[in-house]
A = this chain, B = another copy of it.
Amino acid sequence: MIETKIYQKKNVKMKNPILVEGLPGIGLVGKLAADHMIKEFKAQKVAELVSPHFPHQVLMQKNGIMRMLKNKFYLIPGKKNDVLILVGDVQAVTSEAQYEICGKMLDYFEKKGGKLIYTLGGYGTGKAPQKPQVFGSATHKEIIPAHEKAGMVFGKSHGSIIGAAGLLLGMGKFRGMKGVCIMGETHGGYVDARAAQALLEVLSRLLGVKIDPAKLEQRAKEGEAFMKKMEKEASKQKETMPGSSAKELSYIR
């Protein structure tokens, strides 16, 4: 496997899908919100993405089964628009990998007729906000007012958006797509269920659906635990790899 690959469920039709990306990022805010929607709406998995840029390891599960690290697409049917949610265990760390993976995601979304993208994330401030604001940065000027009405603040977030939350929009624009990065104000140093709830309130207005936030707090705790386990695994990759001391060479036995 030399390039990122998307394995699709066959014969899935989509109605003007809106892509909602919630991969791991600052404060896990986007991931929490997206995972919550998948569970609340019992969304159906329609595609899996694996990439040579993800870690070269599989996870052992308690049931004796292993699983690869993946990104996944879930579908929530809607009246006017279906919602296609993108979640996953990992994001790649290099620029080359991010551009390749986001390109493949957009290829898939484009073939399904998609034109609107929401990317979810945290906007880290280093302070715990009283009531988290929801910041936005858009691909096109004309779509800002409708999103301000839904409770978002534009032009007040500074700096750059790193990873898929930025690239999907930047690269999508070259394909004629529009979209907004929706960022929940957060400290940045911990998993933040309140910022995720603020995101979901905005999203429910934008998508015209009702989202019950009751179980969000519990999911944040699970997210925190999973994250710690994964970081432990990541650091183990090197320690347990024979020859890892001579780290730029292959390991030889």
Contacts and interface: CB of A to CB of B under 8 A. Distances in A.
A47 interface: no
A66 B102 contact: no
A90 B252 contact: yes
Given A91-B250, A237-B162, A253-B223, A169 B58 contact: yes
Contact of A124 (B53, B91, B167, B240): B240
A28 B241 CA distance: 11
Interface string A83-99: 00000011111111111
Interface in A129-147: 136-141, 144
A252 B230 contact: yes
Nearest to A232: B159
Nearest to A224: B253
Given A55-B160, A67-B170, 19 more contacts: A26-B240, A31-B253, A50-B174, A52-B95, A52-B99, A53-B96, A58-B166, A62-B155, A64-B155, A65-B137, A65-B140, A66-B139, A66-B181, A93-B241, A160-B233, A227-B253, A231-B243, A231-B252, A237-B249
A112 to B, nearest CB: 19
B90 A253 contact: yes
Nearest to A140: B65
Interface in A1-52: 1-3, 7, 24-26, 28, 31, 50-52
A231 B246 CA distance: 8
A69 to B, nearest CB: 7
A57 B7 contact: no
A240 to B, nearest CB: 6
Contacts of A240: 26, 124, 162, 188
A252 B55 contact: yes
Task: Please indicate which of the listed interface residues A2, A124, A140, A181 has the most CB atoms of chain B within 10 Å of its own CB.
Answer: A2
Nearest to A28: B253
Interface in A219-253: 223, 226-227, 230-238, 240-253
A181 to B, nearest CB: 7
